[in-house]
């Protein structure tokens, strides 16, 4: 077997493999001889068919089969011989296999890039620093009250924050359209649940009013047949309701499941929960900043085949999420190229982190994996069941191990880079909001 490799553009490699005729002919002859024992040919007894007859009738077919088998068996043998590391499935560009001439084929593929770990010492990574104030706790308590509000019917015009119960029929150019009709629908004004102009048009309406809402569907609306079109909704208001918030007292604490049912205990538990959320979000932001720094200090070509695979995976995840939300339309199509930028980032980070793991010999210990599982299980009512669930399956354990590995890479990077504290509020860290 003779192998030659030609480097073309970037990570592209073209490999030519030549196989001598003797290797092919010997396999073909062996198979044809075996066939003489089993093949049925008119005029000959079973097992007595002359080799020449079998060659005449089946020689071409058997040679094609052997050529295919030899191609498969030698392709990765040649790749290993040349110490290549393909990224994606090799593509066979040409194949010559004339009888008596041996065979020769050309395969094209990308290889994984060679990566040298970059210098993080010039990178500055911002670490969020935040404290939970009494106002933050009060705001969270108000949010909890809002989550447990009750709706009470009122005899007045609707305002933002109220809930209206409506019936409506939608039309475009006088024609009804699928999904444009509803009855007994409760809608909180200001929730942003409906397209722009719909909820705003109901502010000021009273029970019994008939309101015509003229709105336009967004250009990027998920139903392509409605995107960018002007529509009219004939709407009847059945009733107007205002929110009634529960009193912030011991009864409310009991309703939330506070063990001793006291307001002070509820505030304490809310603060502790907020602290856990804050620490989690700080860790997530810090990890994201580290990943940005790793991208900044590593320049290399990323295999297009891997980007394509990751783009397809992201597209499929999007379609699954849309289906779960009931938003997927029959025949909905998404172009995988929409996800190319995110796919490129993911693939690049994966290659960088693999190199860090290899060069720095990062390997989570069993104890570190155990601690991570216990951390994941802690918020659950029966943490031991969660721990047992992870320990019962190697795949789930490997998923946790991958998370721990990323955490160790983050720690490694933070030791190499400059870390600057950035003072932020709770809302800025958790919700990305400024007070």
- Of residues 45 and 122, more confidence is placed in 122
Q: Residue 150's Cα: distance from chain center in Å?
A: 37
pLDDT at position 326 over 90: no
Q: Tell me which of 4-18, 38-52, 123-137, 212-226 is least confident.
A: 38-52
pLDDT at position 222 over 90: no
Q: Where are the beta strands (DSSP E) in 162-209?
A: 163-172, 175-188
pLDDT at position 349 over 70: yes
Averaged confidence pLDDT in the chain:
92
Mean pLDDT of 419-427: 95
CA-CA-CA-CA torsion sign (254, 257, 261, 267): negative
How do residues 248-280 score in pLDDT, each as one tens digit? 999 899 988 887 888 899 999 999 999 999 999
Confidence of residue 434 (pLDDT cuts 50, 70, 90): low
- Of residues 56 and 75, more confidence is placed in 75
From CA 71, how far away is CA 93, in angstroms rounded? 12
pLDDT of residue 386: 96
From CA 391, how far away is CA 70, in angstroms rounded? 44
How do residues 74-116 score in pLDDT, each as one tens digit? 999 999 999 999 998 999 999 999 888 999 999 999 999 999 9
**3-state helix vs strand vs coil in the chain, percent to 5:** 45, 20, 30
pLDDT of residue 327: 63
From CA 286, how far away is CA 422, in angstroms rounded? 11
- Percent of the chain whose pLDDT exceeds 70: 98
Residue 109 is inside which H or E element, if any? strand 103-111
CA-CA-CA-CA torsion sign (172, 175, 176, 178): negative
Closest of 128, 126, 124 to residue 282, by C-alpha: 128
Q: Give the chain's domains with CATH numbers.
A: 2-111 (3.30.70.1050), 150-244 (3.10.50.40), 279-329+336-431 (1.10.3120.10)
Confidence of residue 435 (pLDDT cuts 50, 70, 90): very low
pLDDT at position 240 over 80: yes
From CA 272, how far away is CA 269, in angstroms rounded? 5
CB 130 within 8 A of CB 427: no
Residue 12: helix, strand or coil by DSSP? strand
**The model's pTM:** 0.76
- Percent of the chain whose pLDDT exceeds 90: 79
pLDDT at position 331 over 80: no
């Amino acid at each position: 077997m003779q192998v030659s490799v030609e480097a073309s553009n970037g990570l592209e490699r073209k490999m030519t493999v030549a196989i001598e005729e003797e290797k092919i002919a010997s396999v073909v002859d062996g198979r044809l001889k075996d066939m003489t024992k089993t093949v049925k040919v008119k005029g000959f007894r079973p097992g007595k068919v002359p080799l020449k007859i079998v060659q005449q009738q089946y020689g071409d077919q058997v040679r094609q089969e052997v050529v295919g088998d030899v191609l498969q068996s030698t392709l990765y043998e040649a790749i290993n011989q040349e110490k290549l590391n393909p990224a994606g499935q090799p593509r066979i560009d040409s194949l010559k296999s004339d009888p008596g001439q041996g065979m020769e084929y050309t395969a094209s593929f990308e290889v994984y890039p060679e990566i040298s770990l970059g210098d993080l010492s010039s990178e500055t990574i911002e670490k969020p620093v935040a404290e939970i104030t009494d106002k933050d706790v009060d705001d969270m308590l108000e949010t909890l009250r809002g989550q447990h509000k009750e709706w009470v019917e009122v005899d007045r015009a609707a305002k933002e924050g109220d809930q209206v119960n409506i019936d409506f029929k939608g039309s475009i150019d006088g024609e009804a359209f699928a999904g444009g009709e509803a009855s007994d629908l409760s809608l909180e004004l200001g929730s942003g649940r409906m397209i722009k102009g719909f909820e705003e048009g109901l502010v000021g309406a009273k029970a019994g009013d008939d309101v015509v809402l003229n709105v336009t569907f967004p250009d990027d609306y998920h139903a392509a047949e409605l995107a960018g079109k002007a529509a009219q909704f004939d709407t009847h208001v059945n009733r107007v309701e205002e929110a009634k918030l529960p009193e912030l007292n011991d009864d409310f604490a009991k309703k939330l499941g506070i063990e001793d049912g006291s307001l002070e205990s509820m505030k304490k538990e809310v603060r502790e929960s907020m602290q856990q959320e804050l620490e989690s979000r700080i860790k997530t932001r810090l990890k994201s900043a580290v990943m940005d720094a790793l991208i900044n200090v590593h320049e290399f070509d990323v295999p297009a085949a891997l980007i394509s695979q990751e783009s397809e995976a992201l597209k499929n995840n999007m379609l699954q999420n849309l289906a779960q939300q009931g938003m997927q339309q029959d025949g909905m199509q998404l172009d995988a190229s929409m996800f190319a930028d995110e796919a490129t980032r993911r693939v690049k980070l994966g290659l960088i982190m693999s190199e860090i793991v290899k060069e720095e010999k990062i390997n989570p210990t069993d104890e570190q994996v155990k601690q991570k599982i216990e951390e994941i299980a802690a918020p659950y009512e029966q943490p031991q069941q969660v721990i047992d669930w992870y320990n019962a399956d190697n795949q789930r354990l490997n998923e946790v191990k991958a998370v721990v590995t990323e955490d160790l890479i983050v720690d490694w990077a933070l030791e190499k880079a400059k870390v600057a504290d950035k003072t932020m509020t709770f809302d800025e860290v958790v919700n990305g909001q400024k007070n």
